[in-house]
Amino acid sequence: MYTAQGRLDNSATLKQFSPLVRRLAHQMIAKLPANVELDDMIQAGMIGLNDALGRFDAAQGVMFETFATQRIRGAMLDELRSGDWMSRGNRKQQRQIEAAMHKLEQQFGRAPAESEIAEAMGLSLADYQDMLGKVRGTQLLYLEDLSGGGEGENDYLDRHVADEAANPLAMLQDRRMREALVEAIQLLPEREQYVMSMYYEHDMNLKEIAAVIGVTESRVCQLHSQSIARLRVKLRAF
């Protein structure tokens, strides 16, 4: 992949390392909400690869793949930040919901009802349900932040998305994590168990689930968001 003058052959290098861009994009997108497009991550990654080609200096004693990986990930993170993939406001609201749930579970020794959560947050039931709808992007695969992390958000992507060790899929493959997840799902209110089962096990969409349980599609979205919050509270103690 070097020219006769000992320089990187840009065309050959781009072709050789394109699979690396795709692999890194797949790894990163597994930790993100469904609204993040794989093609966007790949495009950003190719920009990072091009940048690596222009900046690489073999005299520094670093392998090109190592250098390129850093530039590719950096470009993908920049793309996520510019797209505001999950607003700080939504993350804050998600934490508020989970904090209220955790406090009430400790107080009651059971899963709190929606009305109890709303009251604890100083909201009307309608306002609380509206909040659930707004954080609808929340996914169970946000498990990467269960290992901790402070209130600071400027480095949220760097701390979690770019960290190979924080891969939520790897956590789910762990036997103990799977057992904890199954137990947490079994502790959900019955209707929420149905929603989670239909959505994840039977691969039904919100409209189909709404028809089965006799509610609106937006109501299913609320129940799904609430279920995810309950699971995150349970799994945080894992």
Highest mean pLDDT among 18-27, 55-64, 72-81: 18-27
- The pLDDT mean for the chain works out to 78
Rounded CA-CA distance 145/160 in Å is 7
Q: What local confidence, expressed as pLDDT, does residue 155 receive?
A: 46
How many Cα neighbours within 13 Å face the side chain of 168? 21
Tell me which of 2-6, 21-25, 67-71, 187-191 is least confident: 2-6
pLDDT at residue 175 greater than cutoff 70: no
Tell me which of 63-72, 93-102, 140-149 is least confident: 140-149
Q: What local confidence, expressed as pLDDT, does residue 6 receive?
A: 53
The per-residue pLDDT for range 96-138, each reduced to its tens digit, is: 999 999 999 999 999 999 999 999 999 999 999 999 988 865 5
Q: What local confidence, expressed as pLDDT, does residue 145 receive?
A: 44
Q: What local confidence, expressed as pLDDT, does residue 197 receive?
A: 86
Q: What local confidence, expressed as pLDDT, does residue 9 receive?
A: 66
Q: What local confidence, expressed as pLDDT, does residue 142 receive?
A: 45
The string of DSSP codes covering the chain is -B-TTSSB-HHHHHHHHHHHHHHHHHHHHTTS-TTS-HHHHHHHHHHHHHHHHHH--GGG---HHHHHHHHHHHHHHHHHHHHTSS-HHHHHHHHHHHHHHHHHHHHHSSPPPHHHHHHHTT--HHHHHHHHHHTTT--GGGGGGTT---S--TTHIIIIIT-GGG-HHHHHHSHHHHHHHHHHHHTS-HHHHHHHIIIIIS---HHHHHHHHTS-HHHHHHHHHHHHHHHHHHHHT-
Q: What local confidence, expressed as pLDDT, does residue 146 receive?
A: 34
Predicted TM-score of the model (pTM):
0.56
The larger pLDDT score, comparing residue 28 to residue 176, is at 28
